[in-house]
Structures are given as structure tokens and as C-alpha cells.
Amino acid sequence: MLRHHLVAIAAITALLAGPATFAQVYRWTDEDGVIHLSSSKPPPGVKAERIELPGAKKRSSTPSSSARASSSGSASGAVTPPASAAQVAGREELLGRLQTRECVIALEALDRKTDGAEPTSATELRRLQQTAELNCSQDPARRRQQEEMAAKLRVANSPQCVAARNQLADMMAPGARPPREQLQSQQAFVDEHCTSPVR
């Protein structure tokens, strides 16, 4: 119920924000290598990747006519309508998924690099920590889920899982004829233990 209220509030806020609200998410990396994700445009001068919602209409790359029309009130250009409630909800869902992905990847890398499994530097650890702080949830229950996903990603990236996936690929190669039970068992192991929780 609370989630529906939050979606409704987000939709109303987006509608009140006017034409600047669109169904997209921005992703950029700052000068320290920290990954940022936002539904708001990045600061001026920052080059960002714009991720459109699947099925959303793309904006014109020349905003001058719509900007002139909305600022001057003339009808010389089409004014881009504000995002719909469905677009806002979709954008927030997409933003949440992307933030979870970056959070999980940063947490897994932090765990791997701080346990001495591979060489690192203070700069790299700081970058990963900042990326995690920006993208991981502040909600304790959601943060626990993200940490569990990071632990699963660590296992999926382990040498044992790399070997298990390679063995499965060999078993499925043209000409290979492993017993069906062995193939099913290997596939089940990979599915259960060695599948990344984030794409």
C-alpha cells in the first residue's frame, strides 16, 4: 500500500515538474571513477549516457524548438509533454535496478579486494566505497538483499564456478554426448550456484 502511495506521489511530482521530466535515466562516471545514476540530468559539462525506458518515445536531439515554444508560448514547435505516471514509475523501477546492479558489483569487488584475493590501491577502494554509498539502498532490509546478491556474485565469479560453466559448455559442444543425467546435474549446479544475480 505504501509503495502505491509513493508511486502516486512520484507521479504527481513529475507531472508538476513540467516538460523537463522524461522517461529516462542518466549514468555517468565522475573524475574519480565513481558511477552515478540519476533520473535528473547530470551537472553541466558532465558527459552522461542517457538510458531510455524500453518502449518510451525518444526525445528530439534538438531541444531548441520545444524550449523556445515552452518559454515563449509560441506554437512554432511541439512542446514535449511531461512524463506519464506509467513512465515515471517505469523510470524509477529502471533506476532502482541499475542502482542495485552498481551497488552489488561494488560490494562484491570491495569484498574481493579487501580480503587480499587480488592487489588493489587505496584509490580503488575509495572509488568502490563511494560507488556503493551512492547506489546501495539506505533501507536495512533492501541493503541486506543487496549484500546477499553481492555474496552470490562473489561465488558466481569464483574459480569453481568458472570451471563449472566451462565444463557445462564442453558438455554442450557439438559432438559431445554426455549422459543426460550428468548434463542435467551440471546445468542444475550452474543454475543454483553459478548464475550472476545481476546482468
pLDDT in tens, 32-65: 889 998 888 888 888 988 887 666 555 544 443 3
Cα 12 from Cα 7, distance rounded (Å): 9
Single pTM value for the model? 0.65
Q: What is the pLDDT of residue 51?
A: 83
3-state secondary structure of 52: strand
Q: What is the pLDDT of residue 61?
A: 44
Ordered alpha helix ranges (H), the chain: 2-17, 64-72, 85-114, 122-135, 140-156, 159-172, 180-193
Q: What is the pLDDT along the chain (199 residues), one digit of tens a residue?
A: 434 333 333 433 443 343 334 567 888 898 888 999 888 888 888 898 888 766 655 554 444 333 333 334 444 455 656 777 888 888 888 889 999 999 999 999 999 888 877 788 999 999 999 999 999 999 999 999 999 999 999 999 899 999 999 999 999 999 989 999 999 999 999 999 898 888 7
Q: Which of 114, 108, 110 is nearest to 157 (CA)?
A: 108
In which residue are the cell numbers 546482468 written? 199
Whole-number Cα distances in Å, 173 to 168, 183, 190: 9, 12, 16
Whole-number Cα distances in Å, 31 to 28, 36, 95, 158, 176: 10, 11, 22, 30, 49
